[in-house]
C-alpha cells in the first residue's frame, strides 16, 4: 500500500517567530481518511497549505502521494496539486461569474490528465460531473445555473463535485462543513467521504469540530504550541 502522506520532524515557523508546530511523525495510507483537529491558530491551515504544496517545506520531511515536497519546485508542486488533488474550502469555493457547469469542469480543462482520468472511467468529463452531481444529492437542473443562485449547502456540494472531478488521489478539505447547519454537516460529510472512498481517494480534513472525527480512519490532534 502506498502512502498518501508521510511526515517526519515537520515544523514550520513564520519568519523568526517560534515554530508554529512541530510534528514528529504522521503517516496516512492511500485511500484512508485523516481528520486533523485543533483550535484555531494552532497551524492547521498552514499544515494544510504545506500538504497542498502552496507553502514551502523549510524543516523536516514531507512526502505527498509519493513525492518529496521539499524536492519539488513551486511549479512542480502546483502541478501535483492540479493533477492529483482536490481542494475544498470552508466557503467561497466557486467562481461567481461562471455557472455550475463551467466551475465543475474547470479542473479537467486546466489539466488534461484530469480530463483523461474522467474520460477513462466515464467516457467524458461531463458524464462524470453529472454522475457526481447525482451522487452528492444535487438536482440535475443545477447544471446550467449561475452559482450565486444556489444555497450555501448546494454550493458546497458543487465544490465537492469539482474537487472530485478526474478522480484525484488526495482530497484536502479545510472546514468544509462549518458554513452548513448542524443537520447538513454530517450528511454532507458522509456523502463526501463515501464518494471519495469509491474513487479510492484519501481525504484530509481540518476542523475545529471534534464531533466529526469519528467518521475518519485516523485522527490527528495538532500539538499545542509550546508543547511540541
Partner 1 sequence: MVIVSVSVSVLILLSVQQLREDAKRSFSNALSGVDLIVGPRGSATELMLYSVFQIGRPSRNMGYEGYTALAQLPQVQWAVPIQLGDSYLGHPVLGSTPALFTRFKSQGQGLQWAQGRAFADPLSTPEALSEVVLGAEVAKRFGHKLNDKLVLTHGQSSGLGTEHEDHPMTVVGILAPTGAPIDRSVIVSLQAFEAIHVGWGMGISPSAFKAAGGAQQPLDIKDLQPSSLSAVWVGLHNRAEVFSVRRKIESLERGQLMAVMPGVALDELWQIVKVVENTLLLVGMLVAISAMFSVAAVLLVAMAGRRKELAILRAMGAAPSALMGFVLLESLLVCVVGIVAGYVLCQAMLVAGQGVLRTEFGVLVQAGWPAAQAWWALAGLCGVALVASWVPAWRAYRLSLSDGLHPPSV
- Measured from the CB atom, the residue of 107 and 153 that comes closer to partner 1 is 107
Stretch that binds partner 1, among 20-28, 44-52, 131-139, 214-222 (CB under 8 A): 44-52
- Measured from the CB atom, the residue of 25 and 58 that comes closer to partner 1 is 58
Alpha helices in 14-57 (DSSP H): 44-52
Residues 6+ apart with CB under 8 A from 11: 19, 20, 21, 22, 23, 58, 59, 60, 228
- d(Cα 117, Cα 84) in Å, to the nearest integer? 10
The verdict on 49 binding partner 1 (CB under 8 A) reads: yes
The verdict on 110 binding partner 1 (CB under 8 A) reads: yes
Q: Which of 145, 110, 104, 111 is nearest to 128 (CA)?
A: 104
Phi, psi of 178 (to 5 degrees): -70, -20
Binding test (CB under 8 A) with partner 1, winner from 82, 122, 130, 184: 82
- Give the nearest distance from C-beta 197 to partner 1 in angstroms: 22
Q: Which position has the grid cell 496539486?
A: 81
Residues 150-179 contacting partner 1, CB under 8 A: 174
The verdict on 221 binding partner 1 (CB under 8 A) reads: no
The verdict on 52 binding partner 1 (CB under 8 A) reads: yes
Let me know: does 118 contact 108? Beta carbons within 8 Å. yes
CB half-sphere exposure, 115, CA atoms < 13 A: 8
Binding test (CB under 8 A) with partner 1, winner from 33, 37, 93, 155: 93
Interface residues with partner 1 (CB under 8 A) are 45, 48-49, 52, 54-55, 74-75, 78-83, 85, 87, 89-96, 106-107, 110-111, 174
Amino acid at each position: 500500500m502506498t502512502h498518501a502522506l508521510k511526515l517526519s520532524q515537520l515544523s514550520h515557523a513564520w519568519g523568526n517567530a517560534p515554530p508554529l508546530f512541530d510534528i514528529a511523525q504522521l503517516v496516512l495510507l492511500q485511500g484512508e481518511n485523516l481528520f486533523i483537529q485543533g483550535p484555531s491558530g494552532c497551524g492547521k491551515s498552514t499544515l494544510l497549505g504545506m500538504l497542498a504544496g502552496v507553502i514551502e517545506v523549510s524543516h523536516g520531511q514531507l512526502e505527498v502521494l509519493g513525492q518529496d515536497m521539499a524536492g519539488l519546485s513551486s511549479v512542480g508542486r502546483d502541478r501535483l496539486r492540479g493533477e492529483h488533488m482536490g481542494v475544498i474550502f470552508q466557503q467561497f469555493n466557486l467562481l461567481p461569474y461562471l455557472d455550475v457547469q463551467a466551475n465543475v469542469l474547470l479542473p479537467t480543462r486546466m489539466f488534461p490528465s484530469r480530463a483523461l482520468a474522467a474520460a477513462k472511467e466515464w467516457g467524458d468529463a461531463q458524464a462524470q460531473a453529472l454522475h457526481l452531481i447525482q451522487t452528492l444529492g444535487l438536482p440535475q437542473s443545477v447544471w446550467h445555473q449561475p452559482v450565486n443562485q444556489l444555497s450555501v449547502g448546494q454550493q458546497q456540494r458543487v465544490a465537492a463535485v469539482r474537487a472530485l472531478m478526474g478522480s484525484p488521489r488526495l482530497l484536502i478539505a479545510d472546514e468544509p462543513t462549518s458554513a452548513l447547519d448542524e443537520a447538513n454537516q454530517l450528511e454532507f460529510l458522509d456523502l463526501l467521504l463515501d464518494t471519495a472512498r469509491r474513487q479510492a481517494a484519501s481525504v484530509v480534513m481540518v476542523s475545529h469540530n471534534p464531533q466529526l472525527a469519528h467518521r475518519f480512519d485516523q485522527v490527528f490532534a495538532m500539538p499545542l504550541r509550546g508543547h511540541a
